[in-house]
Amino acid sequence: MTSGKKMIAFLGTGLMGAPMVRCLLKAGFPVTVWNRDGAKAAPLVADGAKQVQSPADAVAGAEVVFTMLTNGAAVAEVLFEKGVAGAMSKDAIFVDCSSIAPSIAKENARLLGEYGIRSLDAPVSGGTAGAAAGTLAIMAGGDAADVEALKDVFAALGRVTHVGPSGAGQICKLANQQIVAVTIGAVAEAMILAEAGGASRAAFRDAIRGGFAESRILELHGGRMVNRDFVPGGASANQLKDLDAVMAMADSLSLTLPLTRQVRQAFADFVAEGGAEKDHSGLLLHLEKLNRKDQA
């Protein structure tokens, strides 16, 4: 260890991973980084990170190993095909911050247990703004003692809550994504209604701030809608992936979730129209298109 701080490996330095690494570095943790596209990890060297060329090299000697990857398949590949599980110290704790299916998180935890490695599924909410500010909401599934052991590390990234056993973090993240998606849809529809009735979208948003409709979605995503800034903080393709996982879980539990099903279809249509890499607040564009058709 360096200066009493835990040695950290961070695998996946994209939109969310890179600012999370910077928060860890600012807190004084030594961080080794790897990304499939090395160009996305290279800028972190100037901030004090060490970059390596393989994930197995990154985790050698690490006490905490983070992943922030695209999906469950990417996490499993890095762990079990690219040698991370075999290269990790048995004293290390694996922390997956990716948003993946709960069943995959549980299976990864089981397989890592066969290697003698402790693990947490710890997806996050707060977007790129929260990642940069170190104010993420972190939902941790696994052993409560492991969450407690990493409280200093999590404190650099945001606020962590232990929500249950392996897989529970991912279940809570899916529920979070339900709320985010449905609320984005509600804000977008309200803006369309307000403007159609003669009000300014910007003034409408300002007018309802502080009332019962106030939310982070209204603040951040509503602002994106007013400014028509759809550079992705959270890509619509990823929002759709999460909603697909929600519906699969709902079907497995024989649950009827009509609002989620409807907003999932809206995101599927938006992605099919070319909105995959636009921010999920860009659902506004799809709803505007629907209303132009209706008026034609």
Give catalytic residue positions. Answer: 173
- Alpha-carbon distances of 14 from 70, 208, 252, rounded to whole Å: 9, 34, 32
What are the E-state strand segments in the chain?
8-11, 31-34, 50-51, 64-67, 93-96, 118-121, 124-125, 136-141, 158-164
In sequence order, the 6+-apart residues with CB closer than 8 A to the CB of 294 are none
* Residue 148: its H or E element: helix 144-149
Q: Alpha-carbon distance 139 to 125, whole Å?
A: 8
Q: Alpha-carbon distance 162 to 143, whole Å?
A: 8
Q: Alpha-carbon distance 258 to 86, whole Å?
A: 44
DSSP letter at 188 equals H
One-letter amino acid identity for 265?
Answer: Q
Structure tokens at 182: 């449905």
| Polymer length of the chain | 296
